[in-house]
Amino acid sequence: MESKLGLVIGRYQPFHFGHLQVIQEILTDPECSELVIAIGSAQESHTLENPFTAGERILMIDRVLKNLGINNYFLIPIPDLNRYAVWVAHVESLVPAIDVVYTNNSLTKRLFSERGYKVKSPKLYDRKKYSGTKIRQMIINNEPWQELVPAEVGEIISKINGIERLKELVKP
């Protein structure tokens, strides 16, 4: 049977339970037998908005999914292009040929639709609770952020001194 590839794009700064829920839901879709997880803003790191490198984010997601017994995914960093008219072609060149795009972002939806892709909207997770922005702020404030991310993510952030890194980024 032919494999059907889905695509989902995020920045994953850091990867949290909301992201995981979306990926797990997509993988139940019969139209998606394998998932390309694209790491957006791959060139960014060491900023308040994007503290972790693409490589660090890839490792976080891989560890979580592998430990859940999930193996049918690709983890591919996508540097920003900031030219939306060519952005889909840019993504296409970096990932295996995809059959369906999963997104709730209206720009991503529009750009892939204009190129003829089938776009599906995964069920929204609780965005108030699970939010990269909020988690980064909680890390800085010493609030209990660990419960919002899979254990592997917390461990990797500790190992790479990610807490200290984030705190230094907000120093005056």
Residues at the interface with a second copy (CB under 8 A):
42-47, 53-56, 58-59, 62, 71, 74-77, 79, 82-86, 88-90, 92-97, 106-107, 109-111, 160, 165, 168-169, 171-172
The amino acid that residue 29 corresponds to is D
- Tell me the DSSP string of 46-94: SSSS--S-HHHHHHHHHHHHHHTT---EEEEE----S-HHHHHHHHHHH
Q: Is the omega angle on the peptide bond into residue 14 within 30 degrees of 0, that is, cis?
A: yes
Considering the complex, state which of residue 27 and residue 169 has its C-beta at the smaller distance from a second copy. Answer: 169
Considering the complex, state which of residue 138 and residue 169 has its C-beta at the smaller distance from a second copy. Answer: 169
In the complex, minimum distance from the CB of residue 20 to a second copy, in angstroms, rounded to a whole number: 19
Least Cα distance to 63 among 51, 52, 75 occurs for 75
Considering the complex, state which of residue 110 and residue 118 has its C-beta at the smaller distance from a second copy. Answer: 110
Considering the complex, state which of residue 84 and residue 118 has its C-beta at the smaller distance from a second copy. Answer: 84
In the complex, minimum distance from the CB of residue 8 to a second copy, in angstroms, rounded to a whole number: 15
- C-alpha 150/C-alpha 153 separation (Å) is 5
In the complex, minimum distance from the CB of residue 19 to a second copy, in angstroms, rounded to a whole number: 18
In the complex, minimum distance from the CB of residue 81 to a second copy, in angstroms, rounded to a whole number: 8
Q: Give every CB contact of residue 32 below 8 A, 6+ residues apart in sequence.
A: 4, 5, 6, 26, 99, 100, 102
